[in-house]
Copies of this chain bind each other. A is one copy, B any other.
């Protein structure tokens, strides 16, 4: 079954407190050399049938309306991964 992976990240101009917290915690735990961290979301959608251009366009709309908040987040990528079957 093919899988579509949707990547959602906070917009660059939006503060990302979770990412900032992680960035602050890293050196405290001994991990140096990271200048900034941003945290986003990742959705794995199992698609029934083939991923045609129409299906992908449909999913892109779902990604921008349901999976992300377009006020503060960008859908940075939609990757299609073919299933193993």
A contact residues vs B (CB 8 Å cutoff): 1, 7-9, 19, 22, 25-26, 29, 31, 33-49, 55, 58-59, 61-62, 65-67
Contact = CB atoms under 8 A, between A and B. Distances in A.
Given A19-B43, A31-B61, A37-B46, 8 more contacts: A9-B42, A19-B44, A22-B67, A31-B66, A34-B45, A37-B43, A38-B44, A40-B43
Stoichiometry, as copies per complex, reads: 2
A34 B9 contact: no
Contacts of A41: 39-42
Given A9-B42, A43-B22, A48 B33 contact: yes
Contacts of A55: 33
B34 A46 contact: yes
A55 B35 CA distance: 13
A66 B35 contact: no
